[in-house]
């Protein structure tokens, strides 16, 4: 059907992303633009301050004007068109464009880099067995922390920024004091093979951040009390190496394994709740739609510091609840060597919501956007794919890398994505258009680790060339 967008009008009904009908049906011109829709919805919702929104019809985003989408999707203008609106981040992160510092010091490949939840500190783990803390403003080393006797594979900050946990090929987890670079207590020993992943208990569940969980190639996960240095619970049941562990906000721990399953454990008792089966090969990676809120705890883009532990806990719970209310529950996505992703609602069901296919090679990493609305998957097929974070529907393929994509990291406003690849480059992507915004060459070898600081100011990358690089606008 031809739409004459000059004269046509349509009856449109606004609806929130949770399904609530907003206002009465409106008679709108077909050629109404997204800017005009934004003005309109702010008026309908009586917002005192104008907020940014994006608009969808049948899960397809309105990018320019409504008529273009209706024509493209062959949607009749005779029926009432339901327009779903989604609030966007009020703040905007600017794309990083240049390397502002090359941080040398590691004598082997940099395997893991991570900004602290407040974005003010940076830590790295390397094949040279050391952990290093860096000053992000002056681009200079603060501390070199020695203790591991083999490669440091994983670094993870506690949500309150007071501790850094690192796991290595020496089968131990070590805790460090970021203010001094000194090791806290003895190494956490008990695993019989190397550590593959570490996750801290969420701030809203434990404001003191005293417990963490580690996964290992020995096919177990262990919950540790960081004050005593003791293993509180051992989570077993997998028959092959564990690849990833997540500590969710609902009191559950999720583990992925090369035995092709994901197991869901109760964090308080260690009891196995359910096993999620469906993948045909190793499960490499997990992501929760609440990951970003759990990682950053009470810290957000405003940089507000809370005076008491209770206030910080309340703020962390509010940020977590925002995602849960939007999605309906805590969702989990898994990526596998079988080239697929599976989307789960693990608190309720052992069957996947959907199976997401399209990659032509193994999926190395999956990551939820901070607002929980998008999923990015990085694959050895040289591409990144974007998916709807609630339905699992395919949105776009991001192609420009010429080798396997190892890592991706989101900007805190969910509008951009940074990827690191075997081809030695980083790339910045606009997730709305799927276009590459920036090409960031500079490393001399494979990029193993990428992290975009939670305050949005910087990207850090770690490479096989032994350097950390910091990228800014």
For the stretch 276-319, pLDDT in tens is 999 999 999 999 999 999 999 988 877 788 888 999 999 999 99
Question: Contact at 8 Å (CB) between 286 and 221?
Answer: no
- With tokens 């940099």, the residue in question is 110
Question: Contact at 8 Å (CB) between 368 and 387?
Answer: no
270: buried, middle or exposed (CB in 10 Å: 19+, 13-18, 0-12)?
Answer: middle
d(CA 169, CA 151): 5
Provide the pLDDT for residue 8: 82
Dmax over CA atoms of the chain, in Å, equals 75
- Number of other CB atoms surrounding residue 458 within 10 Å: 21
The order of strands in the sheet holding 363-368 is 363-368, 374-379, 383-388, 394-399
Closest C-alpha among 356, 382, 347, 386 to residue 368: 386
Mean per-residue pLDDT over the chain, rounded = 93
- Residues 268-279 have pLDDT tens digits of 999 999 999 999
DSSP for 117-133, please give it. Answer: TTSSEEEEEETTS-EEE
Tell me the C-alpha to C-alpha distance, in Å, between residue 238 and each of 35, 158, 258, 412.
52, 26, 8, 34
Provide the pLDDT for residue 6: 52
Model confidence at 453, pLDDT cuts 50, 70, 90, reads very high
Rg (C-alpha) for the chain, rounded Å, is: 23
Please say if the pLDDT value at position 152 is more than 60: yes
- Counting every residue, how long is the chain? 473
Provide the pLDDT for residue 9: 86
- Residues 411-441 have pLDDT tens digits of 999 999 999 999 999 999 999 999 999 999 9
Which residues, including other chains, have CB under 8 Å from residue 25's CB and lie 6 or more apart?
11, 12, 13, 80
Q: Which helix (H) or strand (E) holds 243?
A: strand 242-247
The order of strands in the sheet holding 283-288 is 283-288, 332-336, 341-344, 354-356
Which residues, including other chains, have CB under 8 Å from residue 410's CB and lie 6 or more apart?
292, 367, 368, 369, 370, 376, 416, 417, 418, 452
Q: Is the dihedral of CA 439, 442, 444, 446 positive or negative?
A: negative
Give the Cα-Cα-Cα angle 366, 370, 374 (nearest 5 degrees).
55
Please say if the pLDDT value at position 2 is more than 80: no
Return left, alpha or beta for 287; rule: phi > 0 is left, psi -120 to 50 is alpha, else beta.
beta
- Residues 77-134 have pLDDT tens digits of 788 899 999 888 888 889 999 999 999 999 999 999 999 999 999 999 999 999 999 9
- Residues 35-63 have pLDDT tens digits of 999 999 999 988 888 888 999 988 888 88
Provide the pLDDT for residue 1: 37
Provide the pLDDT for residue 111: 96
Model confidence at 71, pLDDT cuts 50, 70, 90, reads confident
* pTM beyond 0.85: yes
Supply φ then ψ for residue 428, to 5 degrees: -105, 130
Provide the pLDDT for residue 7: 65
Please say if the pLDDT value at position 4 is more than 70: no
- With tokens 């990358």, the residue in question is 461
Question: Contact at 8 Å (CB) between 253 and 261?
Answer: no
Tell me the C-alpha to C-alpha distance, in Å, between residue 294 and each of 47, 252, 316, 320.
29, 13, 8, 7
């Amino acid at each position: 059907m031809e739409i004459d967008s000059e004269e046509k009008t349509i009856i449109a009904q606004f609806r929130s992303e949770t399904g609530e009908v907003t206002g009465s049906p409106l008679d709108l011109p077909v050629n109404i633009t997204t800017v005009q829709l934004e003005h309109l919805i702010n008026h309908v919702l009586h917002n005192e301050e104008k907020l940014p929104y994006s608009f969808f019809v049948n899960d397809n985003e309105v990018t320019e004007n409504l008529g273009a989408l209706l024509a493209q999707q062959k949607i009749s203008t005779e029926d009432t068109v339901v327009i779903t609106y989604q609030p966007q981040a009020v703040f905007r992160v600017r794309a990083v464009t240049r390397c502002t510092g090359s941080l040398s010091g590691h004598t082997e490949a940099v395997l893991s880099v991570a900004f602290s939840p407040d974005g003010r500190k940076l830590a790295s783990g390397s094949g040279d067995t050391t952990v290093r803390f860096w000053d992000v403003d002056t681009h200079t080393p603060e501390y070199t922390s020695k203790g591991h006797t083999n490669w440091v594979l994983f670094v993870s900050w506690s949500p309150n920024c007071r501790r850094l946990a690192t796991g290595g090929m020496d089968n131990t987890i070590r805790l460090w004091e970021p203010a001094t670079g000194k090791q806290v207590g003895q190494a956490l020993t008990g695993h019989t093979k190397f550590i593959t992943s570490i996750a801290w208990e969420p701030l809203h569940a434990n404001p003191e951040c005293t417990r963490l969980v580690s996964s290992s190639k020995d096919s177990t996960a262990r919950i540790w009390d960081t004050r005593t240095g003791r293993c509180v619970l051992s989570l077993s049941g997998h028959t092959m190496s564990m690849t990833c562990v997540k500590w969710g906000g609902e009191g559950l721990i999720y583990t992925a394994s090369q035995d092709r399953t994901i197991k869901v454990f109760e964090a308080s008792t260690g009891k196995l709740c359910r096993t999620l089966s469906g993948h045909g090969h190793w499960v490499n990676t997990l992501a929760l739609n609440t990951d970003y809120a759990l990682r950053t705890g009470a810290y957000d883009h405003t940089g507000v510091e809370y005076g008491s532990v209770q206030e910080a806990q309340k703020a962390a719970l509010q940020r977590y609840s925002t995602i849960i209310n939007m999605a309906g529950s805590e969702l989990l996505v898994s990526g596998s060597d079988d080239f697929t992703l599976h989307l789960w609602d693990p608190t309720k069901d052992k069957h996947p919501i959907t199976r997401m296919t399209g990659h032509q090679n193994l999926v190395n990493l999956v990551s939820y956007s901070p607002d929980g609305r998008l999923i990015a998957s990085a694959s050895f097929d040289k591409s990144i794919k974007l998916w709807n974070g609630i339905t699992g529907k395919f949105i776009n393929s991001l192609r420009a890398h010429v080798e396997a994509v190892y890592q991706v990291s989101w900007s805190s406003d969910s509008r951009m994505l940074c990827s690191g690849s075997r081809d030695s480059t980083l790339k910045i992507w606009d997730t709305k258009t799927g276009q590459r915004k920036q090409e960031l060459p500079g490393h001399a070898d494979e990029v193993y680790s990428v992290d975009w600081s939670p305050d949005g100011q910087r990207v850090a990358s770690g490479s096989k060339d032994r350097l950390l690089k910091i990228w800014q606008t």
